[in-house]
Amino acid sequence: MDELILNEFYNKILPAIRDDNLKIDGWNFNIEFQTLLNDNKKYTNYDVSETLIISDIDLFNQLLVQYTKKMIDIILNSSLKNIDYVYYNGNKTYIIDFIISNLWNNVTDMDLINPINFLRMRINFLDDTLYDKNSKIVYLTDIDFLEYSNIEYEIKLNNPILETPYSFSSYIVRDRSNNEVFKLPEIFYGISEGICYIYAIQRIEKVQKNEYTKKVNRILYRVNKEIYDDYALDNIKDVTPSALVSLTIFIKKLKEININDIRVIDYMPIRYKAKEKAIDYRVNKFKDKVSQEEFRKIEESAKEEHYNIQTNITDKFMRNFRRLEYQLGDVHIVNFPKDVDSMMHIRINNNTINNDNILNRLYCYNNIKRNKL
């Protein structure tokens, strides 16, 4: 197994990534970077800006094999085995290629420079102590300001194509049998050596509309009560209330298990470039159908739109944490992205602000239970 993993990585995956031509049994992976491996020029392509630097090849190989084996074990012993393009009828070589290729989709610029740390971190992500297979947890109960509802959460095992192996999925629930369930956005995270890394906040499922969920949605907008746009760094009211509530519940849980350091991922170059390539592919369909000048305008417009969309998504993602710093008191931003690396560094302190805003009331709520459903 070890030899097969390393053979696939060095003889198939890295050369294909170097040439932006990674295909696994018909699946295209838009992953492109060059690799510096001692004096070996086999994986270099100086036309590519992103560079993976492998300094200690023995340790790198050991960790790559360890990660791949752990991921294979998770796939074979979970519902991931039911996803055709993940399991592929149990084809071992395909599963290895799929795992390793998706791993490098999730690097930051610093991860490319320090792949040893990156691999250790991703291995630790797989050993999530919060993960309880097939269980929803009743966390907070009988919350009067949320229609006497409970807060439930579960840790979901994610498809390997996503940013992290697990996500924190929370719900506001009064009566499941009557569909009185308000699904909050999911938080894609990983925990390594006492630090929580947050990669994304996404609404995966639409909220089912009924009288209860409409009422809860109106209540959640009260998070902006007595919040003013006087924060020097940003317009902190320009956030999604349900995302704020989801993050507040998650940070409350992290603090409970003594995780007080958070890193928020700002930029993943390989993922960003993959989206650019998808746009190029779409735009190139017009190349032979319009004039050169018109094609240039279409191309520039598409790239500008992509840049603006991604910038807005990232800015709004980061704005959630600026808002929580302003409102909760406990959340302290130590460094912004690009100050030290491509992450926002956050420290959870014991300076909780207790007032009647529902976000603060939720963060300070003490009727905590840990019953499994």
Domain closes at, from 97, 126, 155: 126
What are the tokens at 60? 């790198």
Q: What does the alpha-carbon distance between residue 198 and residue 183 come to, in Å, rounded to a whole number?
A: 19
**Residue type at 349 in one-letter notation:** N
Residue 51: beta bridge partners? 34
Q: What does the alpha-carbon distance between residue 238 and residue 261 come to, in Å, rounded to a whole number?
A: 25
Same domain flag for 101 and 182? no
Same domain flag for 219 and 243? yes
The more confidently predicted of residues 332 and 82 is: 332
User: 96 in a domain, yes or no?
Assistant: yes
Q: What does the alpha-carbon distance between residue 244 and residue 359 come to, in Å, rounded to a whole number?
A: 8
* C-alpha angle 154-159-162 in degrees, rounded to nearest 5: 95
**Residue type at 221 in one-letter notation:** Y
Q: What does the alpha-carbon distance between residue 296 and residue 294 come to, in Å, rounded to a whole number?
A: 5
- What domain count does the chain have? 2
Q: What pLDDT is stored for residue 241 in this prediction?
A: 94
pLDDT at 27 exceeding the cut of 90: no
User: 131 in a domain, yes or no?
Assistant: no
Residue 170 phi, psi (nearest 5): -120, 160
Domain closes at, from 126, 152, 183: 126
CB-based burial label for 36 (10 Å; 0-12, 13-18, 19+): middle
pLDDT band at 224, cuts 50/70/90? confident
- Summarised one tens digit per residue, pLDDT across range 156-201 is 999 999 999 999 999 999 999 999 999 999 999 999 999 999 999 9
Average pLDDT over residues 306-311: 71
User: 273 in a domain, yes or no?
Assistant: no
Q: Which helix (H) or strand (E) holds 153?
A: strand 149-157
Of the chain, the percentage scoring pLDDT greater than 70 comes to 92
Same domain flag for 87 and 218? no
Domain closes at, from 126, 160, 176: 126
Same domain flag for 84 and 186? no
Q: Residue 80's domain spans which residues?
A: 2-126
Q: Which residue, 49, 190, 196, is CA-closest to 109? A: 49
Q: What does the alpha-carbon distance between residue 143 and residue 150 come to, in Å, rounded to a whole number?
A: 6
Q: What does the alpha-carbon distance between residue 233 and residue 318 come to, in Å, rounded to a whole number?
A: 11
Residue 38 phi, psi (nearest 5): 50, -125
Strands 343-348 and 331-335: antiparallel
- Summarised one tens digit per residue, pLDDT across range 225-283 is 877 766 556 678 888 999 999 999 999 999 999 999 999 998 888 888 777 777 766 76
Q: Are 81 and 95 in contact (CB under 8 A)?
A: no
Same domain flag for 43 and 102? yes
Q: Are 179 and 216 in contact (CB under 8 A)?
A: no
Same domain flag for 116 and 157? no
Q: Which helix (H) or strand (E) holds 29?
A: strand 27-29
User: 335 in a domain, yes or no?
Assistant: yes
Q: What pLDDT is stored for residue 16 in this prediction?
A: 92
Same domain flag for 23 and 164? no
DSSP annotation string for 265-285 = E---HHHHHHHHHHHHHHHGG
Q: Which residue, 242, 205, 215, is CA-closest to 149? A: 215
Q: How many CB atoms lie within 10 A of CB 271?
A: 18
User: 361 in a domain, yes or no?
Assistant: yes
Whole-number mean pLDDT of the chain?
88
Same domain flag for 327 and 224? yes
User: 73 in a domain, yes or no?
Assistant: yes
User: 110 in a domain, yes or no?
Assistant: yes
Q: What does the alpha-carbon distance between residue 168 and residue 133 come to, in Å, rounded to a whole number?
A: 13
